[in-house]
Amino acid sequence: MAFIMSYLWNLDGMIVLTAIIILAYFYMTRKFKYWKKRGVSEISPIPFLGNFTRCIFMKKSAGCLLKEFYDQAKEQPYVGFFIFDKPFLLIRDQELIKNIFMKDFKYFSNRYVTVNKEDRLGYANLFFLKNPMWKMLRLKMTPFFTPSKLKKMLDLIEECATNLTEYLDSLNLENKGKIVEMRELSSKFTTDVIGSTAFGLNTNSFKNMNIEFYKHGRTIFGFEHGLELTGRSITRIYTHIYTHILFSSHFIFSDGELSALQLQFVVRIILALHPEIQNKLRKEILQMLVKSNGKITYEMIMSLPYLDMVFSETLRMYPPAEYLHRITSETYNVPNSNLVIEEGTPVFISVRGLHYEPKYFLDPDKFDPERFNEENKRDRPAYVYLPFGEGPRTCIGIRLGLLEMKLALIKILSRFEVSPCQKTLIPMKLDPRGHLITPLGGVLHLNIRKINTEMEYIIGDSVT
């Protein structure tokens, strides 16, 4: 009798469990025809997880996965996909991208991703803020990034760059040079620039690695685990700093600064792998330094065309944000289409997909700075090159980020040569767990050698 009762209980349990699974299945797949019903093709989703299974299990970065979706939807203006059971729309059409960023910005003024309201530091950051607070803060911050203000910051940034080159000098890099971990080098320099320009602190992380500002800045910039803007301990640390230093607390998380950190080590490995480009860039830098008697000015930095081309091509191949996202604040009728995007629908744009689109960038896997000479830039359609977004929500700190990146590179290339070493991962692989561009393993090693630049590059016009 007991056996029969036990069997019946087990049978009942199996029936109930099966019913729960079936109900859960139908609930989680109830929206899986959402886009097809609207005449939009969609990437076939997996029950319960949608299309982001590989991202959920950290097998692939979101940027790379969205590029796959972009490629699968070839010649289509948009394609639908799902994260769990929620419908998202990936935009491919150039004109629609332009409408989202500019013409119809009022419908797409907010980014989709947000942070917990309890995280005061992250929630109040310009990147995550929503209207109307975003617009108010943007207007408040814009004056900090004008060319006149950047010129005043140049001396502070150059002092940080000098600390960097003095640190390299201390490593005795003559003859064959030495292997240096580039990502930590970039982290220290960026932390010093922020400490100097935003807080008036002379941190010099190259000499004082144990100071609190560097240690916690290292955590925020995700030296170990990718970008981290959240966390109560981080909030407490910088809230303490803000109460003692009268400066805008939002400045430290300028998206230009984050871009600068990520791209410094990327551009160096690219130059290490392309010595002919490195030599050409070094020659341009040194010849300009001769004309200026060694003095570096804002106008000089901005007037180096090949330097700008190298950075532009680096940003194409390794955009700081591999995708952009918005959420509709009200129902939007797509122009010249029957599609209606409902209020609250997330829309994504694959920056990596656009940047590797052969019809915009021929042979996209090749690093070629000449894509960004004046003629090629004129011939390229608008809104297909989006390393920092476009429109009112474009990266506010890009000028500062580019200024510090270019200045650091000028200082390094004018005295040192970078090349691959036995520890250099070729080709460079990105960590799928990273929120921003992060090399696999979190480190990037290159060989750095001090060179006689005057003899090799200023006098010798035959150098390639």
Q: What is the CATH number of the domain that holds 448?
A: 1.10.630.10
For residue 181 the two structure tokens come to 């971990």
Name the phi and psi angles at 330, rounded to 5: -155, 165
352 & 373 share domain: yes
What CA–CA distance (Å, rounded) separates 343 from 345? 6
- At residue 339, does pLDDT exceed 70? yes
In sequence order, the 6+-apart residues with CB closer than 8 A to the CB of 132 are: none
Average pLDDT over the chain, rounded to an integer: 83
What CA–CA distance (Å, rounded) separates 19 from 23? 6
H or E stretch covering 83:
strand 78-83
63 & 145 share domain: no
CB 448 within 8 A of CB 418: yes
- Locate tokens 């990520």: which residue? 262
In sequence order, the 6+-apart residues with CB closer than 8 A to the CB of 276 are: 464
Domain count, the chain: 2
Higher confidence at residue 176 or residue 351? 351
pTM: 0.85
**What is the Cα 5 distance to its own chain's centre?**
61
**What is the Cα 307 distance to its own chain's centre?**
20
Q: What is the CATH number of the domain that holds 378?
A: 3.30.43.20
Peptide bond into 358 cis (omega under 30): no
What percent of the chain has pLDDT above 90?
A: 48
- pLDDT computed for residue 427 by the predictor: 78
What CA–CA distance (Å, rounded) separates 416 from 411? 9
- Locate tokens 């009762």: which residue? 5
| Torsion sign across C-alpha atoms 213, 216, 222, 228 | negative
Q: Is residue 287 part of a domain?
A: yes
260 & 379 share domain: no
- pLDDT computed for residue 238 by the predictor: 41
What CA–CA distance (Å, rounded) separates 74 from 69? 9
304 & 217 share domain: yes
370 & 228 share domain: no
Q: Is residue 24 part of a domain?
A: no
312 & 348 share domain: no
Q: Where are the alpha helices (H) located in 356-446, listed in sequence order?
A: 374-379, 398-413
Q: Is residue 208 part of a domain?
A: yes
- At residue 230, does pLDDT exceed 80? no
Q: Closest Cα to residue 316, out of 350, 279, 354? A: 354
Beta bridge partners of 181: 445
Structural domain that includes position 217: 141-316+388-459
Name the phi and psi angles at 406, rounded to 5: -65, -40
- pLDDT computed for residue 241 by the predictor: 40
Q: What's the chain's length in residues?
A: 464
Q: Average the pLDDT over 41-61 and give the result.
A: 88
